[in-house]
Amino acid sequence: MRVGVLTGGGDCPGLNAVIRAVTLKGIGERGWDVVGFRNGWHGPLTGSLRPLSPDDVEPILTRGGTILGSSRTNPYTEGGGTERILEVLAAEHVDALIAIGGEDTLGVAERLCREGVNVVGVPKTIDNDLGATDYTFGFDTAVHIATEAIDRLHTTAESHHRALVVEVMGRHAGWIALHSGMAGGASVILVPERPFSIEQVSGWVQSRFEREYAPIVVVSEGAQPDGGAEVLQTGEKDAFGHVRLGGVGQWLADELARRTGKESRAVVLGHTQRGGTPTAYDRVLATRFGLHAVDAVADGDFGTMTALRGTDIVRVPLAEATAELKTVPAERYAEAEVFFG
C-alpha cells in the first residue's frame, strides 16, 4: 500500500510530529510506502511529492513548521478538483491520503472522500476552533508563547506606567486570548464571541491605574466593539473566502490613550504564535493523532478524522469536524470576567 500525507492551511507546531508518527508506524508496522505531498492540496493537484523514509522523519519531532510545506490551495477554485486529484493519485499509485489541516483543508478532504478519494483527516490549528475534537495540537504551544509574552509585558508596563494591549490570533474564536489572558493575569480579555463596550474597557483600565498596576489588555484579532465590525488588514480574501484579520490592538490602544489620558501601546504577537518548537503536550497529541490515523487507513475507515475526547483518541466523521466552529461559550468567558478591572 502507498499512502500520501499532506499539511494544508496555516502551519502550526506539531505538524512534523504527525508526519513522523505516520511515516514510522506506516513503514515500520504496516509495511507501507509513505510519500509526502508538498504544499497542501497543491501537491495532489500537481503531483509534487517526495518519498518519506524513517531517516527523513526521525529528527523532526521537535521542529516547528512542516517539512512538506503548506498552502491554502483550494482544489475547487483552482487546479481541477476531485477529478485531477484522482488522476494524480492513480498515476503515483497512491491508495490513500492522510490530510492534516483545519476547517478548510478538512472541508476539502470531506468532499474528496464523498467523491471517491480515500482520505483520513487529522485536525490541527492554533485557533482550537474545530468542533469535533476537545483540542487541536498547536493551540497549547500558541498559548504558551502568548502567555510568556504577557508575563514579559507586565514587567515593562509596570516600569513605565503604561497600558499594554496584546493582540493575539484565533480568527473568529477567542480561545488563545481566553487561555493566555487567564494564564497571564490580564486585566481585560476581549474575544470575538462577545462584542465589547469601549467605555467599560476604558473604565477597567482606569481602575487598574488607580490601584497602581499597569493594565494588560489581551485582545483577540477577531474581537469587535459593540455595534462595530472586525478590523481587517486588507479587504482581500484567501482561496477559501477568509479575510485577513488584524489591527484591533492598535485601534484599542489609541482609543484607551485618548479616553484615559495614559500612554497605551499595542503589541501584535502575530506569527510568533505559530512558529518554533511544539510543547510536550502538542508533541504527544500530534503523535497520537498520527498513530491513530494510520490505524484508520489500515481499517479502510475513510471519511473520518482523529479527535481527542477527554484523554482518548477517537474517530469522528469528517463532516462533523467541519460542521461548526467551536467558539468560547459564555460560561467560560464569565469565569475570566471575575478578574477584569
Cite the active site residues: 127
- Contact segment (CB under 6 A) with ligand F6P among 120-128, 212-220, 250-258, 284-292 equals 120-128
Rounded to whole angstroms, how far apart are CA atoms 14 and 285?
A: 8
Tell me: is residue 29 an annotated ligand-binding position: no
**Taking CB under 6 A as the rule, which mask of x and - marks residues 184-223 in contact with ligand F6P?**
-------------------------------------x--
Tell me: is residue 66 an annotated ligand-binding position: no
What are the b/e assignments for 15-29, b being 16+ CB within 10 Å?
bbbbbbbbbbbbbee
295-334 positions binding ligand F6P, by CB under 6 A? none
Q: Which residues pair with 5 in a beta bridge?
A: 36, 98
Nearer to ligand F6P, 117 or 305 (CB): 305
> Smallest distance from the beta carbon of 214 to ligand F6P, in angstroms?
27
Per CB under 6 A, does 179 bind ligand F6P?
no
- Judge contact between 170 and 180, C-beta under 8 A: no
Per CB under 6 A, does 38 bind ligand F6P?
no
Q: Give me the phi and psi of 237, to 5 degrees please.
A: -115, 150
Question: Which residue of 146, 245, 266, 296 would you call a contact of ligand F6P, by CB under 6 A?
Answer: 245
Nearer to ligand F6P, 160 or 271 (CB): 271
Per CB under 6 A, does 23 bind ligand F6P?
no
Query: Strands across the sheet with 264-268, in order?
Result: 188-190, 216-220, 163-168, 264-268
Per CB under 6 A, does 252 bind ligand F6P?
no
Per CB under 6 A, does 171 bind ligand F6P?
yes
Q: Which of 271, 100, 72 is nearest to 169 (CA)?
A: 271
- Contact segment (CB under 6 A) with ligand F6P among 84-92, 166-174, 301-309, 314-322 equals 166-174
> Smallest distance from the beta carbon of 112 to ligand F6P, in angstroms?
21
Tell me: is residue 272 an annotated ligand-binding position: yes
Rounded to whole angstroms, how far apart are CA atoms 175 and 127?
A: 7
Question: Which residue of 20, 25, 265, 274 would you call a contact of ligand F6P, by CB under 6 A?
Answer: 274
Angle at 258 between CA 255 and CA 262, to 5 degrees: 105
Query: Which residue of this chain has its Cβ atom nearest to ligand F6P in the complex?
Result: 169
Nearer to ligand F6P, 26 or 222 (CB): 222
Nearer to ligand F6P, 103 or 163 (CB): 103
Q: How far is CA 328 from CA 82, 165, 177, 217, 247, in A?
A: 34, 20, 10, 18, 21
Per CB under 6 A, does 15 bind ligand F6P?
no
Question: Which residue of 6, 7, 8, 10 would you call a contact of ligand F6P, by CB under 6 A?
Answer: 10
Query: Strands across the sheet with 312-317, in order?
Result: 49-52, 33-37, 2-7, 96-101, 119-123, 304-309, 312-317
Tell me: is residue 258 an annotated ligand-binding position: no
Residue with cell 472586525: 230
Tell me: is residue 274 an annotated ligand-binding position: yes
Angle at 100 between CA 90 and CA 130, to 5 degrees: 135
41-100 positions binding ligand F6P, by CB under 6 A? none
- Contact segment (CB under 6 A) with ligand F6P among 19-27, 146-154, 165-173, 322-330 equals 165-173
Per CB under 6 A, does 125 bind ligand F6P?
yes
Question: Which residue of 67, 68, 169, 219 would you call a contact of ligand F6P, by CB under 6 A?
Answer: 169
- Hey, is 96 helix, strand or coil? strand
Q: Which of 118, 109, 10 is nearest to 69 (CA)?
A: 10
Start-end of H helices in the chain: 15-28, 42-46, 54-57, 81-91, 103-114, 139-160, 175-183, 198-210, 248-260, 280-298, 318-321, 330-337
| Binding stretches for ligand F6P (CB under 6 A) | 10, 102, 125-127, 169-171, 221, 244-245, 274
Which residues are annotated binding-site positions for substrate? 125-127, 162, 169-171, 221, 265, 271-274
